Amino acid sequence: MLIKNLNHTISFSLFSLFPELVCVVSDRTLGDLNVGRLPIENAQTLLNLYQIPLSQFVGMEQKHGVIVRLVDEANIGKLVENTDGLITVNHQLFLGVKTADCVPLFFYDSIKKIVAVAHAGWQGTLGNITGNLIEKLEELGSDPQNVYVAIGPHIGGCCYEVTAERAKLFLEKFRDPKIAFQNEGKWFLDIGQANKTQLLESGVKLEHIDAPLTCTSCQNDLFISFRKDTKETFGEMLGIIGITN
């Protein structure tokens, strides 16, 4: 379930189980936090709310790919190149993911105390970045049964109209009318649902997935949407996850 916080962020009720965890996403009132196009210092707008210094932040230069990297103190205060997923076992680090319609995912292994983020647009979803990330966690000794995942605000199936060609790719891969479907002759995708399916296929428990119903386009007063916003109002929201002492 989505929790709207008073400090212009949203969080997930699933992670209320873990007081040691900070996992929030900026809402549109915090402005454009597209670190990469903007200097990385802009992440401070969100980090300051939780007294997190930039020297504990690691972001990604997101490429709509499926590459997941393990990061440590060598990466602090930087954007990791050519990456759409980050994992760390370092409890000093806060990992960042920026989105505006794509799906941000936040992972927590409550036993191994490992955190991770992923960015999944249609390409990353089709390439199964979520499954890649769970595999990497397993290589680090995680049991997927102990992994909790929040699926952040993204464009909903209600508004994500795509070409028949793109829909066909998803139909072939998922064979699920909840993920690729037609409405009044137009094709739509639910990429949040697709990532949820991939999490379940990777062994994550249904009750460990928080997938609140969101739509960055329908809820454009709260979120930023690549499709709904104009060039003047567009930006990216930043999500972070990390462990506090």
- Examine residue 156 and tell whether it contacts Zn ion (CB under 5 A): yes
132 touches Zn ion (CB under 5 A): no
Residues 6+ apart with CB under 8 A from 185: none
Per CB under 5 A, the list member of 111, 158, 200, 213 interacting with Zn ion is: 158
Shortest Å distance, C-beta 224 to Zn ion: 14
Q: Which two tokens stand for residue 134?
A: 């769970």
Burial label, 67 (beta-carbon count in 10 A; 0-12, 13-18, 19+): middle
> What character string, x for contact with Zn ion (CB under 5 A) and - otherwise, covers 10-49?
----------------------------------------
Query: Would you say 123 or 219 has its CB closer to Zn ion?
Result: 219
| Cα–Cα dist 173/127, whole Å | 10
Give the binding range for Zn ion (CB under 5 A) out of 1-9, 86-94, 103-111, 156-164.
Answer: 156-164
Tell me 35's DSSP state: B
For 147-186, b/e burial (b = at least 16 CB within 10 A) is bbbbbbbbbbbebbebeeebbebbbebbeeeebbbeeeee
Q: Which is nearer to Zn ion, 57 or 188 (CB)?
A: 188
Angstrom distance (rounded) from CA 66 to CA 62:
10
Give whichever of 70 and 159 is closer to Zn ion, judged by the CB atom. Answer: 159
Applying CB under 5 A, the site for Zn ion has a residue count of 6
User: Could you say which of 215, 237, 241, 243 contacts Zn ion (CB under 5 A)?
Assistant: 215
Tell me: does residue 213 bind Zn ion (CB under 5 A): no
Report if residue 218 touches Zn ion, rule: CB under 5 A.
Answer: yes
Site residues for Zn ion per CB under 5 A: 156, 158-159, 215, 217-218
